[in-house]
Amino acid sequence: MAEPKATTKPRVVCCVGDIHGYIAKLQNLWSNLENAVGSSDFQTALIIFLGDYCDRGPNTKEVIDFLISLPSKYPNQSHVFLCGNHELAFAAFLGLLPSPPDGSGFSETWKEYEMNEEREGWYKGEGYEKMHLQGRRWAGTVTGLNQAKYKGSVNNAGPTFESYGVPHGSADLMKAVPDEHKKFLASLVWVHEEDNVGIETEEGLQNCKLIAVHAGLEKGKGVEEQLRYLKAKDTKISKVAALSGSKNVWNIPEELENTGTIVISGHHGKVHIEDFRLIIDSGGGLENNPIAAIVLPSKKLVLDTDQLGV
């Protein structure tokens, strides 16, 4: 349950929505966040990145370099890097996912969706035999879909390959991605829980538990069960709804509705701020859309296009 009032000044928490390979937008958003929060509070803030750092935009490599640099540049901040559905697929292609806990092979993840293999043009190059479904989809070449719209694959992965200097779908990416980037991708968490997060409500400032997950938590499934498989990174699952779902993860699960638990996500290509359900993705990976972050406890929305500090 949320506490009705915070007795001490709550720590600033900044939750950053989908970036999708746009380094200039990320740099501008970061500067705007510091201006919006104030330098002192920003230096000690908790920064939660909500996933989807790669694909669509042209600068995935530079975006990951920026994210990797933050802990040394801002040693008094805390940083959480969530895994989005795009990073899961990127990591799957590079062979960075943990093995399924039940001992099955990654080829077992293909079966549920094999009717889509030809239309989505799943990757069949070097190493595909032992690759998770999402890696094959990510590096594949669409055939029955609008190729210009999808930038190579259903994940719009072409620009990510190109940012590392290799053509889309090339196995050379496995060698081109630096070890530091591979370590970063392997370390991404599927869910993050944080206690005592302040949030402004109609009843005033409350201290709440926060659950951050890229797309959301599924309705109709137990929250503890979902948290368990997300914490374990259960890769026997072909398509992880909490990272890639839509309507089925939009709302807060019923069992959390009256608990004062904040559930925050990106992913959906929209900004939705309603009570304790926060969805922060104004960009959707589109070139002309801004990217966004939300600051807690104030619930102030900050965009990369804001003219702050000018």
For the annotated catalytic residues, the residue numbers are: 86
d(CA 72, CA 288): 31
CA torsion sign for 187, 189, 195, 200 is positive
Tokens, residue 209:
């538990």
Tokens, residue 20:
């999708």
d(CA 276, CA 125): 45
Region of residue 172 (left: phi > 0; alpha: psi -120 to 50; beta: else): alpha
d(CA 118, CA 95): 23
Note the maximum CA span of the chain.
58
d(CA 55, CA 168): 11
Q: HSE of 297 in the Cβ direction (CA atoms, 13 Å)? A: 19
